[in-house]
Structure 1
């Protein structure tokens, strides 16, 4: 089972909003924070599913 956004936020020491922004609006997050969130997301095999404003997508952050 994949990790949740809460798992990534907790391990990276950031809010769930920051995790979301790191993938959907990366320019709004510092490079250091984005790198940490990405690193943790890969470690936890995190998948971000996004559905809003009529757009549905899946952002893959798991390495490989």
Structure 2
């Protein structure tokens, strides 16, 4: 078998590691529409508690992906 992490699992680990490059990756995931912020926040709160700075940092992470304007 080949073990793989789902995007949400990867996001949780990246927040756990709390490295600058991981936060950049999380922002890219958010903008690409591959990060379920609510699910990731829920998992982080379970394991770290709602007062953990990593939880707040994920809450404050850049805006979600914007859809490109429709072609006329």
Larger radius of gyration, structure 1 or 2? Answer: 2
Q: Could you state the TM-score of these two structures normalised by the residue count of structure 2? A: 0.34
Which is helix-richer, 1 or 2? 2
Structure with greater strand percent: 1
Q: TM-score, normalised by structure 1?
A: 0.36
